[in-house]
Amino acid sequence: MARVTATTSDIEKAAGVLRAGGLVAIPTETVYGLGANAEDPSAVTRVFQVKGRPPSHPLIVHIGGVEHLDAWGEDVPATARLLAERFWPGPLTLVLRRGRRAPLEVTGGLETVAVRVPDHPVALALLSTFGGGVAAPSANRFGSVSPTTAQHVRVELGDAVDFVLDGGPCEVGVESTIVDATGDTPSILRPGGVTREDLEAVLGRPLAVPATSRVRVPGQHPSHYAPRARVVLVEPEKVIAEAELAQELGHQVGVFVPPALADTVVKAHAVVTVPGSMAAYAHGLYGFLRELDQRGCDLIIASLPVEEGLGLAIANRLRRAAGPRPS
């Protein structure tokens, strides 16, 4: 269970800020969100401004329970209902046809809407007290590493957010899995906290995952989830040699040492030993990237985990962190 410091009066205050059109940072089991009343277009517009995110990039609406599904989505297919009932509250976002409560400001002008019920006591208490939907992208500036503690949010957004609800460190540590559930054949748009294997077990059939999450196509990924340091991915057995070479060439190298090489002494500026369990790795991933930035690394050498279970989401984030930067 997350270490929760938000009190009942904090939750009431946060609901008041949302009602008044303000922005609240909310803890979830995945990452912290930058929340606004989803039905208040000017509050939603402020979310885009604070993040520096293009308005065509839609937000996820957080709702208090599966009973709100039909207000936010329309013509919800039976498969979507099944997934919602099985995985909510939890790190699964369903893309549905836009329902009557979902304004176009939230959906970036699309006729579909992304919805989820977060599995965090503070978020659920806020949603229940507030009563409406909370539109919340991850509470970071566009393209940078998502926050997994309240302190990350305070450092990154400062006064731009009206209130920060502290719900302790996020348990899962990577964002929700986004499933396109508009039709009868769902597909994964973004791998995340609910594994492909768990989804397939419930659906009883294989799920399509976008090619970009598996195959590295240079030039095609906008840099996302990215620290300031450049991230370079190499084969696990080459991590240490590449890191030491780059350090010798004058870089301040941060290295993600694979679990199998945990005891090796590495001549680099900063060393993170990658946890062997994928749950622990996902939980720590964004914190590791932030830490290496803070320690002044200009280059991070890492390898990809096996792309099974949570390893799929971790590999997706590392690839995107290593992608080209927006100029």
Which residues in this chain contact ligand TXA in the complex, by CB under 6 A? 28, 30-31, 33, 57-60, 91, 93, 95, 107, 110, 112-114, 118, 136-138, 175-176, 178, 189
Specify the residue, 212 or 252, whose C-beta has the smaller distance to ligand TXA.
212
Q: How far apart are CA 114 and CA 160, in angstroms?
A: 24
> From the CB of 138, what's the least distance to Mg ion, in Å?
3
Three-class DSSP labels, 105-124 = HHHCCCCEEEEECCCCHHHH
Instruction: Note the maximum CA span of the chain.
Output: 60
User: Which helix (H) or strand (E) segment is 300 a member of?
Assistant: strand 299-302
Taking CB within 5 to 8 Å according to partner kind, which of Mg ion, ligand TXA, none is near residue 238? none
Q: How far apart are CA 192 and CA 314, in angstroms?
A: 8
**How many C-beta atoms surround the C-beta of residue 85 within 10 A?**
11
> From the CB of 131, what's the least distance to ligand TXA, in Å?
19
Specify the residue, 113 or 270, whose C-beta has the smaller distance to ligand TXA.
113
> From the CB of 143, what's the least distance to Mg ion, in Å?
9
Contact set with Mg ion (CB under 5 A): 138
> From the CB of 273, what's the least distance to Mg ion, in Å?
26
Q: How far apart are CA 213 and CA 223, in angstroms?
A: 13
Specify the residue, 138 or 195, whose C-beta has the smaller distance to Mg ion.
138
Taking CB within 5 to 8 Å according to partner kind, which of ligand TXA, Mg ion, none is near residue 110? ligand TXA
> How much is the CA Rg of the chain, to the nearest whole Å?
20
> From the CB of 108, what's the least distance to Mg ion, in Å?
14
